Structure 1
């Protein structure tokens, strides 16, 4: 292939041979000492019918051309020079001509065609820039997809290599890409790499810091890495970010699940010192931790510290307080706190009544049990499987099965069996015999047959009767 400057000179000579009115007068080499990576500029001065034209192209200079242009070009007007980047110089198929002169009376048809060809090059170059930008965007999307694919499939070396290339470039990072990579690294237990990603984001993309910190703290907490969670939280606070209510409650939830009771209590104190309220999920998590360790007195102290008058959590605080007394069968305290709940303006729900019903059933307090059922009916609360189980177990355990129909006469035994009681009640008081026997029937025949309480009670009574019989096989 000919060098570009030879191609230019050859084109000029052919033009002179084909058009007698066209004459190239001078060629000037514009760059004094061009760097190796750039291309010098040659100015071609031509004359057509004594009207001067100036053409500017880019290309390497011939050795015989003078290295310095004249200080003044007479009869010429100002021109613009088309500059083409060096990497695509070899692919250049034409050049743009800027002319500033009077309209020539004797312009030939060949000159008109030349202008049309040059004009068609301009939009093609503009389209090329748009196409390059589109290809670059598609390439960036491909890189992130490939990086996440490698990370999710355990090819962490390849994923890390692509990540370093992305983070050290001008690529516009998407937060979902960063969080996806962090999830994959945490699943692979590459915690040092996760910390490194956080530091890189802090330096290169500070606008994404807070979201990355919050997500990483949550991920460390979910897998029980409390020390890493704590260090990441301290690092976030040192950067000037505040701990909001969502993050603070998640913080105590993870300590209640994976930490000890003292660690959980310290986390709760830190939340209080930040003037943040512990929300419903946080209250349940701390209560489960106390219930798990059978520390019902500490549970009651915690509930009073939170404040029994909080309305945004419903009856949760009062139900947990009643449960802490029912766990140790402190019946007088249970009754007293129930009356305090009514005086505070709270309406008992199904869980509230079933906590008392289970305690009355286990203590064989039939009169209190029937009063509780009357109170439920008066408040328009429908019993569930737990409520029926309290009545059935209380009578059958005392061998009063013949009086069971009398006890159930005011209850609608034709309703379908369902469990609506808070499962924290079962964590503390367990499930009754009738509940444990009937629940598998409800689970196994779900969607096929709807068991009524009457059918469940009849099945359980028959089972209980057979278990009391002794069969001798001779």
Structure 2
């Protein structure tokens, strides 16, 4: 890269040298002196720590980026000026780093000045710098500046435009700016750029998080018309939107529309369908769809079994619960804390604690506890009392090598003490 011209360095930074009102002059001078002193100290330490190469700008970029993390934009400016005055070869990457330092610290006028200066030069920023600048603006809610960057890059007819549009869409989506996201997408399509699978699925995910169900379903319809396959992340996002609003029938319709026979999604679609029935304890439908899943050639996983186990436990269907455990053993699926909790809660709720040893005899209670069930199950069916209590023990107790046996023993003592307190009152 060519070294910066005097104009490209001095022009944007000259904005920082505008005269201050006299009554604030002393305070600003003191602050500038402190910043300059700190910059010189940082440079001195850097020189002492390693070799100094005045023909590279990488050290300057690294020092400025350190100032970004420490929220010291004015110190970054002083580092830049000090290194320039000492004869270091500084190019546009150093100036870009300073621009990002300003943007991430909310100094938008200074960042804009450097950005405009870069665009007026022959230097074209790479996609990483543009992405970081757009991200900095969107974090601060400066969405008009993101649109301004898009328009400026359009005027330059950059080959990076498709990537820049994708970054802008992502930033608008993450901040819930759905209308701006729509406008940007329309502009992108009008210029002949193709919406790929990543962008299309991201678009759908943002609507599932920030939009209404109708808007989300409209976005899904557009995805289908463009023959873009909805990926697992998109399926999960839409399903959570239905679950959050307790629209389990519509969830089932969506899953069937996606296609329960899809192999690239694993058991995700079937597990979500089973969950839609378990949510309302439609046990016959739950059993029917489980049999259909097995007949279709899908092997039930831990999440599949725990969805059924939770439903059986809450409905006190002991026989079905034991058959499900036997099936797990036959399929060589290792139970987790959720599975043990289903058995413990079912028996204790019906005051059958004396039979708990028999109920757990088919499971290995001497292994270390773990939770491997997909979290979306808890969004619908919640966590059982044993599961919640055990997680508290595991998190706050100093012991590291718990077993299921020890957790169950501790939980039974806790329940016994709470019952004693209840009857004493």
- 1:328 is matched with 280
Separation in structure 2 between the aligned mates of residue 267 and residue 311 of structure 1, nearest angstrom: 24
Separation in structure 2 between the aligned mates of residue 136 and residue 190 of structure 1, nearest angstrom: 34
1:26-425 counterparts in 2 under 5 A? 138-425=90-377
Separation in structure 2 between the aligned mates of residue 473 and residue 415 of structure 1, nearest angstrom: 36
- 1:33 is matched with none
1:434-445 counterparts in 2 under 5 A? 434-445=386-397
Greater strand content:
1
Corresponding residue to 1:458 among 403, 409, 412: 409
Return 5+ residue gaps in structure 2 as ranges.
Answer: 1-54, 57-86
Greater helix content:
2
Number of aligned pairs?
342
The alignment's C-alpha RMSD in Å is 2.0
Q: Which of structure 1's runs of 4+ aligned residues deviate more than 4 A?
A: 471-474
Residue 216 to residue 471, structure 1, CA distance change in 2 (3 Å): closer
Separation in structure 2 between the aligned mates of residue 473 and residue 335 of structure 1, nearest angstrom: 44
Contact 1:416 1:450 in 2 (8 A): yes
**What's the secondary structure of 2:91's corresponding residue?**
helix
How far did residue 166 of structure 1 move? 1.1
What per-residue deviation string (whole Å, max 9, x for no partner) do you get for residues 163-222 of structure 1? 111112211322222112111111221111111111111111421101110001001101
How far did residue 465 of structure 1 move? 1.2
**What's the secondary structure of 1:325's corresponding residue?**
helix
How far did residue 449 of structure 1 move? 1.3
How far did residue 233 of structure 1 move? 0.9
How far did residue 473 of structure 1 move? 8.4
Contact 1:253 1:285 in 2 (8 A): yes
How far did residue 261 of structure 1 move? 0.6
Separation in structure 1 between the aligned mates of residue 234 and residue 348 of structure 2, nearest angstrom: 39
Separation in structure 1 between the aligned mates of residue 162 and residue 309 of structure 2, nearest angstrom: 49
What per-residue deviation string (whole Å, max 9, x for no partner) do you get for residues 397-443 of structure 1? 10111111111111110011111111111100111111111111122
How far did residue 472 of structure 1 move? 8.6
Return 5+ residue gaps in structure 1 as ranges.
Answer: 1-129
Residue 351 to residue 145, structure 1, CA distance change in 2 (3 Å): same
Separation in structure 1 between the aligned mates of residue 96 and residue 373 of structure 2, nearest angstrom: 47
How far did residue 141 of structure 1 move? 2.7
Asked which structure has the greater RCO (Cα within 8 Å, sep 6+), the reply is 2
Separation in structure 2 between the aligned mates of residue 456 and residue 470 of structure 1, nearest angstrom: 21
Separation in structure 2 between the aligned mates of residue 172 and residue 225 of structure 1, nearest angstrom: 28
**What's the secondary structure of 2:160's corresponding residue?**
helix
Separation in structure 2 between the aligned mates of residue 470 and residue 174 of structure 1, nearest angstrom: 68
What's the TM-score once normalised by structure 2's chain length?
A: 0.77
Residue 379 to residue 139, structure 1, CA distance change in 2 (3 Å): closer
How far did residue 471 of structure 1 move? 7.0
How far did residue 146 of structure 1 move? 2.0
What per-residue deviation string (whole Å, max 9, x for no partner) do you get for residues 107-156 of structure 1? xxxxxxxxxxxxxxxxxxxxxxx99xxx9973323322221221122111
Contact 1:386 1:419 in 2 (8 A): yes
**What's the secondary structure of 2:392's corresponding residue?**
helix
How far did residue 305 of structure 1 move? 0.0
Separation in structure 2 between the aligned mates of residue 349 and residue 225 of structure 1, nearest angstrom: 38
Contact 1:417 1:450 in 2 (8 A): no
Separation in structure 2 between the aligned mates of residue 468 and residue 331 of structure 1, nearest angstrom: 32
**What's the secondary structure of 1:232's corresponding residue?**
helix
- 2:32 is matched with none
State the structure with more CA Rg.
1
**What's the secondary structure of 1:207's corresponding residue?**
coil
